[in-house]
Amino acid sequence: MCVKMIRRVNDEEGIKKLVNDTFQNMWFQPVKDRDQDKLLMRVMNITDVVLACKDTGCDWFEQLLDNVSTPALMLPVSYLGIVNCPTKSIE
């Protein structure tokens, strides 16, 4: 479902905004420090989406990341939580 939605990231402005807002809220909202399970679930979901684009390319995924990482959205704290997520849990 996420892959189908992200592929609409370059559609008309209304669809594009809906896709960007959805993934910003789903993946990049801050998580409480003690909620490592929720953070890990987000990381696993993002990983699954990236793996799903293996054969078709990641252009649309890269476009989504560009769209939601504009300075106006101020997401560095959320990104930091995902980046610091323990990778041993993923293996």
Q: Domain residue spans in the chain? A: 2-89
pLDDT at residue 87, rounded to an integer: 47
pLDDT recorded at residue 59: 84
- What's residue 90's pLDDT? 47
Task: Give pTM, 2 decimals.
Answer: 0.66
Given a contact cutoff of 8 angstroms between Cβ atoms, the answer to whether 25 and 17 are in contact is no
Q: How far is CA 9 from CA 17, 63, 84, 88, in A?
A: 8, 7, 27, 31
- The alpha carbons of the chain give a radius of gyration, in whole angstroms, of 13
As a whole-number percent, the residues of the chain with pLDDT over 70 amount to: 76
- CA–CA separation, 57 and 44 (whole Å): 19
Q: Using one digit for the tens of pLDDT, what is the confidence trace for 48-86?
A: 888 887 777 888 888 888 888 765 555 555 554 555 554
